[in-house]
Amino acid sequence: MLKLRKLFLLVCIAPISIVLQGQIIADHNVVDEYENIPNQYIEKVKEMWFVLGGESHSRAYRRGLESLEALDATFQVNATEAGNPEAYTDMHLRVSSAMWGDYDTPTGWEYWIGEEDWWTSQDAIDQVKTGLSYCSAISNPISVIGFGWCWDASWGAASSGTDPVTGNHWYGELVNSPGGVQQWGLSADDFDATGNSLCMDSYLTATQEYISYCESNYIPTQVIFTTGPVDNPGFSNEAMYQQHLKWEYIREYVRSDANRILFDYADILCYDDDGSMTTSSWNGNEFPVITPTNLGDETIGHIGEAGTIRIAKAVWWMLARIAGWDGIPTGQGKGLIGEDKTIVYRAGDKICVEIEGTMSLQKIKVLNINGKQEFQTFLKSNKCYINTDGLAAGMYFIVVENSSGSKVSKVVVN
C-alpha cells in the first residue's frame, strides 16, 4: 500500500491552473455546484447583465432565477421584462431577454427574440452586432448573451426526405428560410432531405460570428452556445429523436474548442436532483427527454418550477465560472474537513477514499481534467472504493465534501 501511495497518492494540491483551462459546460453535472461558488464570485455575478434572448421558453430562465432567490437570498436577481434594461448595479444579477432592435425593428428594446432575430439571415446577424455595439457604447454592455431556443428544432411536419445515415426525417420550422417556413437538418448535407439551405451549422456560424465580433471590437460581452427544449407538446418520437441529434451536434461543436461555452438547457432538464434520467426511444434509438418532475405543470416557460430552479442553479455556476471562478469549492487543498482527515489513493484498479477521524457524511465526486463530473457517491463508512473501469485513461480530480468544507486531490487512471 505504501508503494502505491508513493506512485499514485493524490497529494492535496491546488490544481487551479488546470481547472481554469477547463471548458465551461453547464449541464446536469454542475447543478449542485452552485452551492460551492465562493462569495467573491457571487459578488462578481451580481455585477453582470445576463441576456437570454428568446420567446416563451426563455421565461423559464428568468422565473427560475427568481425562484432560487426566494429559496436562498444569497442569489439576488432582478428580471426586466419590458422598457429600458436596468443600468449597472452590484446589488444583484440583472437578467432579461432584451436586445436592441430585431430583424423587423432596427431600434428600440425588443423582448421577444426568435430564430429570425438571431441566426436565419445575414440581416438578423448584422442587427445583433449592432445591438451588441449599442449596449457597449451606452456604457451598459451585456455581460453574457445567448439564444433561448423554443420548439424551433422539432415543430411542424416531417421533411420529404430522410437522413441517409440516421434514417429519420427532419422537423422544425424556421422563419426566413429561403423557401418560406421549412424543416431543417444539421448541415448542408441535409439539403436533399429538407430543401432548406439553413441548418444547425447556420446557428453555430452566426453565434461564432458574434464571438469574433465582440473580440475584434473590444466589446466586453461573452457569447454562449445553448441547447433547447426537451419537453413534448405532442411531437412524434421521431421528431424528438431528431431534435436530440441537433442538440448533440451543438455539444460536439462546442467541445471541439475549449474556449467555447455551452449552457446545456436540454441536458439539465433530462435529470432529476437525485441523478435519475428519463428517456424515450425511436427506431431502436434511446435518447433523453425531460423528466416528469422537471416538466411539472408546464406553466413556466413550458416546464415546472423544479425544472426552472435547476436551470437557475446552473446559470449561477456558469456565470461564476465566466467571472473567473476555477470551479473548485472553497476550502480545497486543506486536507482536513472538520475533524476528519481524508486520504485518497490508488488501490490496484480502484480509487480509495479513506477517512481518519470522526466520521461525518461525505459526498465524493470524480471530475475529469476539464472539470466535468464523471461520478458521484456518498461515503457511508470510513472507506470507499471507486471502480475505474468506466473511466478513460488520464488525470482526474477527487472532490470530497461535507458541511465543514472540502478537499480536492488528483489521481491518474491508467
Q: Which of 84-93, 176-185, 324-333 has the lowest mean pLDDT?
A: 324-333
Q: Is the pLDDT of residue 314 over 80?
A: yes
Dmax (CA) for the chain in angstroms is 70
| CA–CA separation, 163 and 154 (whole Å) | 15
Q: Is the pLDDT of residue 190 over 70?
A: yes
Q: What is the pLDDT of residue 4?
A: 30
Q: What is the pLDDT of residue 71?
A: 97
Q: What is the pLDDT of residue 14?
A: 30
Q: What is the rounded radius of gyration, in angstroms, for the C-alpha atoms of the chain?
A: 22
Q: Confidence class of residue 363 from pLDDT cuts 50, 70 and 90?
A: confident
Q: What is the pLDDT of residue 264?
A: 98
| CA–CA separation, 248 and 362 (whole Å) | 34
Q: What cell does 391 get?
A: 473511466
Q: Which of 82-86, 227-231, 408-412 has the lowest mean pLDDT?
A: 408-412
Give the pLDDT mean for 284-307.
Answer: 98
| CA–CA separation, 363 and 291 (whole Å) | 24
Q: Is the pLDDT of residue 328 over 80?
A: no
Q: Is the pLDDT of residue 375 over 90?
A: no
Q: Which residues contact 218 (CB under 8 A, 6 or more apart)?
A: none
pLDDT in tens, 34-65: 999 999 999 999 999 999 999 999 999 999 99
- Give the other-Cβ count within 10 Å of 405's Cβ: 16
**C-alpha distances in Å from residue 307, one per residue of 230, 292, 310, 321:** 11, 9, 5, 22
Where does 215-297 show beta strands of DSSP type E? 222-223, 225-226, 262-263, 278-282, 285-289
Q: What is the pLDDT of residue 361?
A: 62
pLDDT greater at residue 347 or residue 74: 74
pLDDT in tens, 108-119: 999 999 999 999
pLDDT in tens, 130-155: 999 999 999 999 999 999 999 999 99
| CA–CA separation, 143 and 38 (whole Å) | 19
Q: Is the pLDDT of residue 94 over 90?
A: yes
Q: What is the pLDDT of residue 8?
A: 30
Q: What is the pLDDT of residue 275?
A: 92
Q: What cell does 343 get?
A: 486520504
Q: Confidence class of residue 344 from pLDDT cuts 50, 70 and 90?
A: confident
Q: Is the pLDDT of residue 223 over 60?
A: yes
Q: What is the pLDDT of residue 39?
A: 92
- State phi, psi for 93 to the nearest 5 degrees: -65, 135
Q: What is the pLDDT of residue 360?
A: 62
DSSP 296: T
Q: Is the pLDDT of residue 343 over 70?
A: yes
Q: Which of 6-15, 136-145, 186-195, 210-219 has the lowest mean pLDDT?
A: 6-15
Q: What is the pLDDT of residue 340?
A: 58
Mean of per-residue pLDDT scores for the chain:
88
Q: Confidence class of residue 402 from pLDDT cuts 50, 70 and 90?
A: confident
Q: What is the pLDDT of residue 9?
A: 30
Q: What is the pLDDT of residue 10?
A: 33
- Give the other-Cβ count within 10 Å of 338's Cβ: 12
Q: What is the pLDDT of residue 401?
A: 78
Chain position carrying cell 416563451? 56
Give the pLDDT mean for 102-131.
Answer: 97
Q: Is the pLDDT of residue 384 over 70?
A: yes
Q: What is the pLDDT of residue 12?
A: 31
Q: Confidence class of residue 403 from pLDDT cuts 50, 70 and 90?
A: low
- What is the CA angle 31-395-324, rounded to 5? 45
Give the pLDDT mean for 5-11.
Answer: 30
Q: Is the pLDDT of residue 1 over 50?
A: no
